[in-house]
Amino acid sequence: MNQKIRPVDISEILRDVANGYDDNKPRPTLSNDLMRLLRNLFDHGIKLDVTRFNPASPFRPRDAGGEEKAANYPMNEGEVTEFFTKLRVIPAQFSRENYLACALLIATCTRKMELLAAPWSEFDLENRIWYLPEERTKKRRAIDIPLAEPAVEWLNELKVRSCGSEWVFPARRISKKARTPHVCENTLNHALKKLFEKKLFSFDKRRVHDLRGTARTKLGKLGFDDNLAQRCLNQLPGNRTDRVYNKHAYFEERRAAHEALCEWLAPIVRGEVSSGE
């Protein structure tokens, strides 16, 4: 079958996706993802001995819309205050669960689905530790996350709201068609997107992932060095040898960083700091 698929065919597909076709808008990021998928697909076919040629192997990001650049637009302190101030007064449009999820994403420096797909079994709220296992992290690195007292308060509230579920953020619609027992990956994205489309905020659109960038930026402004800030985000600095032999998890240092982060964030989340509008 693959003899009928030539590199020029792959090129046309990637170009159409990257530049847009018919009524479809340009999707260079999707084109990059498609390039990797096709390359892996044909490589797998070679392993299974169903093909001897990978027509996608010559292609690189420049052939699929260009190199991808990490998009990171953290909020500054004033924007964070405005963000939570306005979200707090529209519970019908942005639920309390969504509100606390945004606060916890900053407080714990975690990725969206690391939090939204978390079971209660990972948390030791009494000792204020979240044991995040490697299989649920992007880089496959387990991490013990220190929880500041405000984060524990928010989690305890979610414990009540979860009504006995084993998930911190259980699926909000009970249906046999539900893809996951916890909220799906687009729940928070869609909720925020709708609010930015309504021009609720005075600043430009932000994504859920920007909350993690906001935490990273604030840690730097609080005086914590890059090495420690990266470790709070489970991004180990140094070379491969350092990562293998340096087993010190900097737990107490990271606890101090999370405490300082929440000392700034908690009054904003509780509504004790005005946005100034």
Q: What's the first-to-final CA gap in the chain, in angstroms? A: 64
| Between 229 and 175, residue with greater pLDDT | 229
Q: Is residue 155 very low, low, confident or very high in pLDDT (cuts 50, 70, 90)? A: very high
- Cα separation, 82 vs 85, in Å, equals 5
pLDDT beyond 90 at 178: no
Q: Report how far apart, in Å, the C-alpha atoms of 209 and of each of 59, 79, 110, 181, 225 are.
A: 29, 15, 9, 22, 22
pLDDT at 33: 85
What is the pLDDT at residue 32?
Answer: 84
Q: Is 229 helix (H, G, I), strand (E, B) or coil?
A: helix
- Mean pLDDT within 16-27: 81
In the structure, what pLDDT confidence band is assigned to residue 52 with cuts at 50, 70 and 90?
confident
Q: Please tell me the pTM assigned to this model.
A: 0.77
Contact 103, 265 (CB under 8 A): yes
CATH class of 2-63: mainly alpha
Tokens of 129: 């530790």
Min mean pLDDT across 85-99, 189-203, 224-238 is at 224-238
Answer whether residue 241 shows pLDDT above 70: no
Given this model, what pLDDT does residue 96 score?
96
Coil vs helix vs strand at 37 = helix
C-alpha to C-alpha distance for 25 and 163, rounded to whole angstroms: 42
What is the pLDDT, as a whole number, of residue 4?
Answer: 80
Q: What is the pLDDT of residues 197-239, one digit of tens each?
A: 999 999 999 999 999 999 999 999 999 999 999 999 998 765 5
- pLDDT higher than threshold 90 for residue 164: yes
Q: Are 147 and 153 in contact (CB under 8 A)?
A: no
66, pLDDT greater than 70: no
Question: HSE of 127 in the Cβ direction (CA atoms, 13 Å)?
Answer: 8
Q: Where are the domains of the chain?
A: 2-63, 77-270
Per-residue pLDDT at 134: 92
Distance CA 51, CA 67 (A): 29
Q: Give the 3-state secondary structure percentages of the chain, helix then strand then coil, rounded to 5.
A: 50, 5, 40
What is the CATH T-level fold of the domain 77-270, as seen in this structure?
hpI Integrase; Chain A (1.10.443)
Residue 47 CA to residue 33 CA, distance in Å, equals 21
For residue 271, pLDDT beyond 80: yes
